[in-house]
Structure 1
Amino acid sequence: MLDVGLTTFMILATSLVMLMTPGLAFFYGGLGCKKNILSIMMQSFVSMGISTVLWFAFGYSVCFSGNLHSGTDFFGILGNLDKAFYHGITPSTLYSPDKRFPEYIFIAYQMMFAIITPALITGAFINRVSFKSYIFFLVLWQIFVYYPFVHMVWGGGLLAEWGVFDFAGGITVHATAGFAALASVYFVGRRQEKTDPNNIPLVAIGTALLWFGWYGFNAGSELAVNSVTISAFLNTDTAASFAAITWLLIEWNTGKKKPTFIGLMTGAVAGLATITPAAGYVDIYSAAIIGIIAAVGCFLAVKFKEHKGWDDALDVWGVHGMGGVIGTICLGFFANSAINAAVPNGIFFGGDGMLLLKECVAILFAISYAFIFTVLLFKTINKFIPVRVSNIEQTVGLDLIHHGEVARQQ
C-alpha cells in the first residue's frame, strides 16, 4: 500500500532539488559578465532537457539496475539495461517494500541530481567554451563520469560494497564536478578579460534558491521521514550558516578588510556543499564545526587558486570541489552511529579509522578520475569541434554570437 505521507514528502524534495538548477543559473548569471549572461544560464537550463532524455533512455538503468553483490551489474562500475526506457516500471510500482512511494518519484529525484552535476562545472569556463562543444561534453561526461560514480556509491556498486558512505553527493556530485571544473580550466586556459559580477542581486536570488533547494537535496536523500531526515535538514542549514558567517569574518579581517555580500553568499554555498556527504550521518554540533572548517578550507582553496593563476571564473573547484573533498574527509572523523545506525563511527566517536581511510581512498579516486577523464574528453572533442571560442567571440560576447540574444538592452 502506498505511503501517502512519504510520497508527498518525496515529491516535495524532488521539486526542491529541481529548483536548484534554475537557482544555479541565476547564481552564475549574476556572477558572469553582462555579455555572457544568457550563455552561462542556458548551459544550466539545457542540462534539464538533455539530462532528462539521457536518464529516460538508459541513465537511470545503468545507475540503479543490478548490483555487485548479486553479480548483476558490470563489475560494480555500471548497472545493466534492465530498466532502460523505464522498462517494467509503472506509476504504481513501489520503490521498495519498506519505502512505499512510487519508483517514478525516485527516478525523478535522482534525475535532478544528474541534471545539476554537470551544470556546476560550467561556472569554471564561463565566456570561453562554445555551446556546441558543451553539448557533447554534457552528454559524454554524464555517461562516463557521473553515471559510474552514482552506481558505485549509491547503486550497490564497487564503493558501496567496500563500505564508502556519501549521504547526498559529496563524492558523486561536488568532488567530481569540482575537479572536472579544474581540468576544464587547465584545458581551455584563461579568459581574455576578467570582469566583476554584473548583477549581485541576481546572485542573491540564485543563492536563496540553492539554499532552499538544498533542504530537498540533503533531507530527501534519506528517502524516508524519520530522525535522520530531520538531522539532515537542520544540519544543512546549520553548516551553511556557520560557513557563511565564518567566511564573512575571514574576509572582513583579510585582504580589503570589508565584509562583502558575494563573500557571505559564497561561504553559504561552501557550507552547503561541504555538509552534503555527511548531512545524515553527523550530529548538530559536528555540523556547526564542519561549517566552520568548510569556510576556512574553501576560502584558502580560492586564495590558492588565485595565487596559482588558475582562471576558475566562479570558484567551482574552490567551493564545490574542495567542499566535497573536505566534507567527505570530515565524515571519517565526525560520523556518529547514534544519529544514523547505517554508518560506522568516525574517529571522534570511537571509530577505528577504517571509515576515514575508505572515504579518503574513494575521494582520491573520484577526483583523479574526474580530472583526467575531463582533460581527455575536452581534447577529444576539440579534434572535431573547437572547444575554446575565439578572442573576437569573447570580445563581442557569446550571448550575441552564439545565441543571437542579449540579456538586456544597453
Structure 2
Amino acid sequence: MHSASWDESYDYKGKRVAVVGNGSSGIQIVPALLPEVPRIDHYARSRTWISPSFGREQIEKRGQGLDNFTFTSEDIETFKKDHQAYQRFRKDVELELQSIHGITLTGHSMQLGEQEVFAENMKRRLANKPGLIDELLPSFPPACGRLTPGPGYLEALTDDKVNLITSDIVKVDETGIITADGQQRPVDMLVCATGFDTSYTPRFVIKGREGVTLAERWEQTPETYLSIATDGFPNYFISLGPNAGLGEGNLLLLIERALDYVTECVHKMQRDNIRAMSVRREAVKRFTQYCDAYFAGTVFSSKCRSWYKGGTEDGRVTALWPGSSLHSMKVLANPRWEDFEYCYVNDNVFGWLGDGWTENEKHNKITVDYLDDNMVDFPRPMNVAK
C-alpha cells in the first residue's frame, strides 16, 4: 500500500502490518490502523516533533481535551442557530493560528519558548512508555519540517501492539523486512507512507521561449517570482508552485491572493491589448536572493530532512513562502507591473486606446450612471472645532 494509492478492497483486519515513514501521512495511519490489527511495526528513519493540537486554547475552552476534539452534533446545531457564535469560534482559532510566526525565526523568544512546550507535550503523551522520548525527540527545532499535531499518534506508540523501529531498512522480500541490525520481521501488509516527489518537475512538457522546458529551467533549482511565475514562460502562472507553501499560518489565504493576482494580470492583458506578459529575469533573481537571505534566519534552514528542501537535510528552501501568510496577503495585494515585460497585439503599445468609441456606444447601450447619486463620491462634512 501507499498512502496516496490505497486499495480499499483489501481487508487488513487481523494482519501483521508494517508502516514505513513517520511524516504527516504515517503519523495519521498508525493510530487509524491500530484498533484492527494485532501488531504494527513502525519504521521511523528520522526523529520528529509532534506538535500540540492547533487551536488548542479554543479546544480547551470547550472542555473536550486536546487530542480527541471533534465537533459534536450539538455544536453543529448551535452554530446553525447562532451564526455569530460560529464566527467567533472561527476568528478565535484563526487568530491563534496567525499569531505563531515567531516560532519559525531562529532565536526568537517565541521559537525558544515553543520548543520547550513541544517537548513537554510529547513527554506527557508518551508517559506510558517514557523511554520512547529519547528515540523521538529531535535535536533540530520545531517547524524545521512540517508541523504535525498527530492526534492519537504518540498514544499509539505506547501501545504494546506497536513496535517502533529506527534501524535502517536494507531489504524487502516476499516475506517481510530486513533491517541493518540483521533482523527479519514478517509482514502481511506493507504501508509506504514515504512521501511524494517534491522536485516541482512538471508531469508533462511545458515549453517556454526558445524551446526551453520548465523541467530544464528548474533543473538546478526551482525559481519563481512571488511563487506565481518564472521568466521565459510568458502567460504562464502558477498556483502552489515553488516557494508557495507555508510552515505556519493559513495557506488558503495565500492561494486566494495568488489567484486574485493572476486575475489582475488577465484583466491588465485584456484592458491594455497585451498579447503576452512575462516576468523579468532580474525580478525572479531578486526574489530568489530575498528567499535565501530570509530563510537563513529561520528554523527551516536547520539540519533536518524536509520536503521543504527537496527531501535533503541542508539544501535550499524551495517549498515555502518567505514570510507569514499575512505577509503574503500584503505582498500579493498590488501587482508591480514594472516587474514584467510585455508584447502587444500588432506591436501597438497604444492599441488599448481603441478607435475612439466605447463598446456601449457601438451597441446602443449608452448609460449615464455617473449621475446616479449612489455613484457620486460626495465630499464628507468637516468637523469644525468649536
Q: TM-score, normalised by structure 1?
A: 0.25
- Per chain length, whose mean CA-contact separation is higher, i.e. which structure has more relative contact order (CA < 8 Å, sep 6+)? 1
Structure ranking higher in helix proportion = 1
Q: Larger radius of gyration, structure 1 or 2?
A: 2
